[in-house]
Amino acid sequence: MQSAKRKITVSILGASGYSGAMALRILLRHPGVTVDKVFGTTSVGETVSSMYPSLRGLTDKVYEEYTADKTANSDILFLALPAGHAMKVVPEMLQSRKKVIDLSGDFRLKESSLYKEYYKETHVSEDLLDSACYGLPELSRAAIADSQLLSNPGCYPTSSIIPLAPLLKNGLIEPNDISISSLSGVSGAGRKSTMDLSFAEVDGSVKAYRVGDHQHIPEIESVLSEYTGQHISVNFVPHLLPAVRGIYTTMFVTPKKNISPRQIGEAFEDAFKDEPFVRYLGNEIPELKNVVGSNFIDIGWKFDKRNGKLIVFSAIDNLIKGAAGQAVQNMNIMFEFDEKEALIV
């Protein structure tokens, strides 16, 4: 691992949004990191502390307009941009030998046709899709370490893929009978204000949205299919929760014939025993309040004896394990820092 005395230099594009600001907050306390530039669009010229008063006294950075020459001293770039923006700037970053962590969905799907179908835009850097590493540490730690372009997973997929992967990898559940119900806090939609996300609209209510066409459906299916070597199909329904942060996911799956609860428990225990940010709870049901503000994912499960269904639960903070925290975790792996650096507080 790198000595804490040696530092890398980091710049952040989209640092004025929720995920970018959270990445900045975490990186400011990282002993191996110097934050160089923070870039915004509508926030150019404003200080970070004026937009995020909780960062007063921690940084005097001012949001700048991005140009490639301003990142000449940066070893790695964090891109916390809306979908469709990263793919336009990543090629020049890679040509200048920068390492890149993209927090958007621009490089998560290997097929450009899927990107166009679910993101409603033509991919302009499709030649880079195969080389982008999908950065879920619990599945691909070795590939992350060697990557130059890393695609940070989505929050919903993180909450679903980590619990499902060991069950599918060990052949314990049916690969095409998976139903996922996820609830997200409103910060998952970003900082841009809309009527649908106003307090008056979300308070006291829960509603499903983008049923059947959410962009995280192909992400979940393709990552699990590649990891397990079999075709995986899921039903996925996201819901808007009247809370600021957090993802709570319930997965309904069918165990294969003669699979026992003991086998299920052993598969989880074996998969997660050395994972620093997976808290496996066994038959205890996770609670959202226990993960908000952390990079942990809490996982539990119950077996329904009435119908033989296995019900798996997970909880994460969408801005940390679902975005910025996982990005820093990936950076730690890429630069051989302690994987937990700046993420255990």
Tell me: the pLDDT tens digits for 263-310?
A: 999 999 999 999 999 999 999 999 999 999 999 999 999 999 899 999
Q: Is the pLDDT of residue 200 over 80?
A: no
**Per-residue pLDDT tens digits for 217-264:** 999 999 999 999 999 999 999 999 999 999 999 999 999 999 999 999
Mean pLDDT over residues 81-94, rounded? 97
CATH 3.30.360.10 placement within the chain = 156-317
**pLDDT recorded at residue 136:** 98
Number of other residues whose CB lies within 10 A of the CB of residue 192: 10
- The span from the CA of 42 to the CA of 243, in Å, is 26
Q: What share of the chain is helix, strand, coil (3-state, %, to 5)?
A: 35, 25, 40
CATH 3.40.50.720 placement within the chain = 8-153+322-334
Q: What class has domain 156-317?
A: alpha beta
**pLDDT recorded at residue 5:** 58
Mean pLDDT over residues 1-23, rounded? 86
267, with CB counted inside 10 A (0-12, 13-18, 19+), is buried
Among residues 13, 23, 114, 155, which one is catalytic?
Answer: 155
The pLDDT-based confidence of 197 (bands split at 50, 70, 90) is confident
**pLDDT recorded at residue 13:** 98
Domain 8-153+322-334 has CATH 3.40.50.720: yes
- Is residue 133 annotated as a catalytic residue, yes or no? no
